[in-house]
Structure 1
Amino acid sequence: MTIFDGMRRVAAVLSVIALNAAAVVIWSEKPFVEFIYEIDGVDKPPVFVEFCEFNVHGARSLGRETDDGRTYRVTLCFLAHESTDGRMLVEYKNADGLIGRNIPRSDEVQQYMRRTGELLDQTPAELLAAKKELDKQRRSYRVTGAIFTLAVLLFFWLFMQIVGVMLNSMPALRNNNSGENK
């Protein structure tokens, strides 16, 4: 057995390990999908937005599932408005139906956000959008994983070609191994 044969076997084993690692990563990757809805006051409908300033407004996150069991997140962003004294206050409705305003971290606002989140129904449009986005991200992960796998295999193939050329250009190594086989 030559040095080149041993290196070729090592490269083959490393290629198999890389393929297995890539397969595990591709199939176990969990896409993250989030929908953010902005609520600008009591009894106002949620409006889909791209971004919410969580440090200014009140926010509540809910875990949701598609009909095929995949998870995604819905975040409700309760807009805060500046009061006359400069504080940012969120409008809320308590359990008795009375409307008030308080800071986003207050117990009253937190309870209102929890109740509102519990009452927010999953719409067919949201479910469809979640499934499409989850499928899109899954395809993206698979394409990225396939590209990574091909790059690793190409690296090992090029490495073996370079090592082969180097070993063939060294007559002392070539002659040393041929005497052992006789």
Structure 2
Amino acid sequence: MNVTFYMFAKRAVWQLLNPIYRFEIIGLEHFPKDGGVLLCSNHINNLDPPVVGITAPRPIIFMAKEELFKSPFMKKLMIKLNVFPVKRGKNDREALRMALSVLKENQVLGVFPEGTRSKTGELGKGMAGAGFFALRTKANVVPCAIIGPYKPFKRLKVVYGQPIDMDPLRQNKKSAEEATEVIMNEIRKLMEKHRS
């Protein structure tokens, strides 16, 4: 992981975005200091990945749609920022292997389970991938809620919830879809609690 460039980019993006969106960061004490973390957030704006990246206390490796890697400049930038591509709507085994590897190496994997931005700001249906990663590894599953809207000089909340205990789901042999639903419900609770 290219931590040096990541930290440089994190500082630069913070200085650029924080004066505009006046971040209120809640729940950082819940974020595990070590070990694998599956960070699952709602998705309301194209700026969500950098916003989560600059507010989380640990470097994040994001999955991103492969379309973002089409231009040579963006591909180079994404790689330097430790982002890897995933083919949406397909069984992308290479991306699945990469994601599981990130978690097993005790790093932080960032995913947006909805798979696309919500046009209304309301939480959409999560895809099975998040549940699959949660059940297949022992990583801490941390829900995150971004509460907008993104408006200049209005406060933007980024809320990190307590890790979700996935052991009962593993013991009861729950499906990836069911595990994703549990994760989405926790994100929904954060949104409802902190929306004002």
TM-score normalized with structure 1 length: 0.27
Q: Which has the higher helix share?
A: 1
Bigger radius of gyration among the two: 1
Greater relative contact order (Cα < 8 A, sep 6+): 2
